[in-house]
C-alpha cells in the first residue's frame, strides 16, 4: 500500500517528525516514519536507520563514520537507493531539518519521478535552494524557527506542511483523456523562431513541452526523459554544453544528453545557441574574458561568443554523448548559423567558429543507420531548417506511433 514517507534524522528531530506523521494520518492518509539519523541511536521509527543504511551500494558499514559530514553524505546515498527500491510504495515524501537534513533528504526526493508530491521543511528554504531542488518539483517551505522541538511556530509550520502533502496525495491529478504523447523541446531566446514553428507543426499530434536551456531547464527535460514521461526529444538548443565547457552560468552539467543514451528515446538534436556562453550582468564577466566578443542581451545577461577552439571542444563533447546513444538519433548542423545573432551582419557571426564545431562533430560521431549527422544549408531559425528537423523527426519516430 502506498504511503507518505516522513523522512528525517530521528536522533535529533524525532518529536517533529512524529508530529508530522500524526497530522498526515489524522487527515486519513497513511504515513511511514523513515529515520535517517547517523548517531547510532535506538530508533522506534517504522523504518530504522539500519534498514536504510543497508541499501548503500557499499553496504551498511559505509554509513558508519565518526565524521558527521561523511556519515550524512553516505546516509544520503543509502536513502536515495532505499527510496528508489521502494518507489512503488511512495505516495508522497516530506522531510524536515536544517542544512544537513535538507542535504540528506532532497537527493532521494529528486530521484522520484516528477509528479510525486515532495515537500521539504527547511531552515535554508529562504536562501538559494537550487542545489536542493535541482530539476525536480520539490516544494521548499521555510521553517521560520529552527526545526528544534514543537513550539507555537513550528507546530503551525509543520502542521501546514503535513496537511499540504496529505492534500496532494489525497487529491491526485487524473490524466486527461485527450492527452497527446508528450515530446521535449529545448529553446533559448535566440532559437525561439525555430522552436515556435516546430510546436505549431507538431501540436496536433503531440503535446510539446518546451524547456528553457538555462541549465536547470535541460536537466528538467532530461529528468522527464529518465522518468519515461516523454516519447521523443527535439533538442534544438544545446547551449548548456557551451556553458559547461567554457564556464558559463547556464551549465546543465556533465550529464547533458545522458538521459537520451540511458533510455534510447528517439532524438533529434542540433547546436542551437552554442555560439554563446552566458554570464550575468556585464560587470560579472570573469576578468579573463573581458576582452572577448561580448553582447549584452539584457541588463542581467551578457553573452560571450565562443571561439573555434572552444567549439571544437563543444563538438567533441556532443559527439561523445551521441556515440553513447543506441536509440534513433538525427543531429542537424545549420550551416547558416546556430542562433539569431550568428548570421551575416549580426554580432556573433563567425563562420570559422561554426566550421570548427561542425567538423568536430562530424569527425567524432560514429555514424550508423540509426545515428546520422546532417548539414543543412540554412540558419537554425530558417524555414528550410524547420522542415529538415520535421523530416528527421518523422524518421526517428517511424514505427513508434
| 294-298 and 301-305 strand pairing | antiparallel
How far are the Cα atoms of 168, 207, 359 from residue 374, in angstroms, in the given order? 46, 26, 12
- Going by pLDDT thresholds of 50, 70 and 90, the confidence category of residue 67 is confident
The predicted model scores a pTM of 0.82
Query: What's the gap between Cα 28 and its chain centre?
Result: 33
What integer is the mean pLDDT of 233-260? 97
Nearest to 251 by CA among 286, 225, 218: 218
Whole-number pLDDT of residue 287: 95
> In the chain, what are the domain boundaries?
3-170, 182-397
> How far apart are alpha carbons 286 and 311 in whole angstroms?
19
C-alpha cell at 295: 553582447
Identify the pLDDT of residue 147. Answer: 85
Whether the CB-CB separation of 380 and 337 falls below 8 Å is answered with yes
What top-level class would CATH report for the domain 3-170?
alpha beta
Yes or no: say if 203 and 153 are a contact pair by the CB < 8 Å rule: no
138-163 core/surface letters (b: 16 or more CB in 10 A; e: else): bbbbebeeebeeeeeebeebbbebbb
Tens-digit pLDDT profile for residues 277-332? 999 999 999 999 999 999 998 899 999 999 999 999 999 999 999 999 999 999 99
135 with 161: CB under 8 angstroms? no
- Residue 163 phi/psi, 5-degree rounding, is -65, -35
Distance CA 63, CA 187 (A): 42
Sign of CA dihedral 256, 259, 261, 262: positive
151-197 residue pLDDT tens: 999 999 999 999 999 999 999 888 777 789 999 999 999 999 999 99
pLDDT score at 401: 56
Gap between the Cα atoms of 312 and 271, Å rounded: 12
Percent of the chain past pLDDT 90, that is, above it, reads 89
3-170 matches 182-397 in fold: yes
Angle between helices 308-323 and 351-364 (to 10 degrees): 30
The pLDDT tens digits for 120-144 are: 999 999 989 999 999 999 999 999 9
> Three-state DSSP class for 157?
helix
SS3 271: coil
Residue 296 is predicted with a pLDDT of 93
By the 8 A CB rule, do 259 and 225 touch? yes
Residue 377 has pLDDT above 70, yes or no: yes
Please enumerate in sequence order all residues whose Cβ is within 8 A of that of 371, keeping only pairs 6 or more positions apart, or say none: 322, 323, 325, 328, 329, 365
Residue 336 C-alpha from the chain's centroid: 31
Q: How far apart are CA 237 and CA 212, in angstroms?
A: 9
- Pull the grid cell for residue 6: 516522513
DSSP for residue 180? P
The CATH architecture annotation of domain 182-397 reads 3-Layer(aba) Sandwich (3.40)
Q: Give 321-369 pLDDT, tens digit per residue.
A: 999 999 999 999 999 999 999 999 999 999 999 999 999 999 999 999 9
For cell 563567425, the residue is 350
Is 123 within 8 Å of 147 (Cβ atoms)?
yes
> CB under 8 Å, gap of 24 or more: what pairs does 74-77 form?
75/36, 75/38, 75/49, 75/104, 76/103, 76/104, 76/105, 76/107, 76/108, 77/107
Cβ(229)–Cβ(180) under 8 Å? no
- Cβ pair 389, 198 in contact under 8 A: yes
Residues paired with residue 120 on neighbouring β-strands, in sequence order? 95, 140
**What percent of the chain lies above the pLDDT cut of 70?**
99
List the Cα angle 193/198/204 in 5-degree steps: 140
Amino acid at each position: 500500500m502506498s504511503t507518505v514517507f516522513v523522512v528525517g534524522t530521528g536522533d535529533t528531530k524525532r518529536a517533529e517528525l512524529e508530529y508530522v506523521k500524526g497530522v498526515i494520518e489524522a487527515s486519513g492518509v497513511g504515513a511511514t516514519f523513515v529515520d535517517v539519523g547517523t548517531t547510532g541511536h535506538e530508533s522506534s521509527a517504522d523504518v530504522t536507520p539500519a534498514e536504510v543504511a543497508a541499501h548503500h551500494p557499499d553496504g551498511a558499514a559505509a554509513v558508519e563514520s565518526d565524521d558527521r559530514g561523511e556519515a550524512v553524505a553516505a546516509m544520503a546515498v543509502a536513502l536515495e537507493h532505499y527510496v528508489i527500491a521502494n518507489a512503488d510504495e511512495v505516495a508522497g515524501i516530506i522531510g524536515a531539518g536544517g542544512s544537513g537534513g535538507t542535504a540528506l533528504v532532497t537527493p532521494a526526493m529528486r530521484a522520484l519521478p516528477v509528479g510525486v508530491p515532495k515537500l521539504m521543511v527547511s531552515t535554508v528554504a529562504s536562501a538559494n535552494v537550487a542545489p536542493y531542488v535541482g530539476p525536480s518539483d520539490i516544494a521548499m517551505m521555510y521553517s521560520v524557527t529552527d526545526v528544534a522541538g514543537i513550539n507555537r511556530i513550528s507546530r503551525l509550520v509543520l502542521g501546514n506542511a503535513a496537511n499540504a502533502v496529505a492534500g496532494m496525495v489525497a487529491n491526485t491529478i487524473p490524466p486527461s483523456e485527450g492527452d497527446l504523447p508528450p515530446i521535449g523541446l529545448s529553446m533559448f531566446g535566440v532559437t525561439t523562431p525555430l522552436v515556435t514553428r516546430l510546436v505549431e507543426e507538431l501540436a496536433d499530434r503531440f503535446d510539446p513541452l518546451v524547456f528553457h536551456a538555462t541549465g536547470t531547464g535541460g536537466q528538467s527535460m532530461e529528468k522527464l526523459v529518465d522518468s519515461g514521461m516523454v516519447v521523443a526529444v527535439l533538442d534544438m538548443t544545446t547551449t548548456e554544453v557551451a556553458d559547461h565547457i567554457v564556464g558559463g552560468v547556464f551549465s546543465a552539467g556533465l550529464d547533458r544528453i545522458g538521459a537520451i543514451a540511458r533510455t534510447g528515446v528517439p532524438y533529434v538534436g542540433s547546436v542551437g545557441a552554442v555560439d554563446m556562453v552566458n554570464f550575468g550582468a556585464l560587470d560579472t564577466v570573469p576578468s579573463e574574458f573581458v576582452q572577448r566578443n561580448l553582447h549584452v542581451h539584457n541588463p542581467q545577461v551578457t553573452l560571450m561568443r565562443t571561439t573555434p577552439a572552444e567549439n571544437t571542444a563543444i563538438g567533441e563533447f556532443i559527439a561523445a554523448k551521441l556515440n553513447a546513444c543506441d536509440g534513433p538519433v538525427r543531429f542537424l548542423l545549420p550551416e547558416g548559423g546556430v542562433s539569431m545573432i550568428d548570421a551575416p551582419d549580426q554580432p556573433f557571426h563567425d563562420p570559422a567558429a561554426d566550421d570548427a564545431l561542425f567538423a568536430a562533430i562530424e569527425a567524432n560521431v560514429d555514424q550508423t543507420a540509426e545515428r546520422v549527422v546532417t548539414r543543412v544549408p540554412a540558419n537554425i531559425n530558417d524555414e528550410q531548417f524547420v522542415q529538415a528537423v520535421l523530416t528527421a523527426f518523422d524518421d526517428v519516430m517511424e514505427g513508434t506511433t
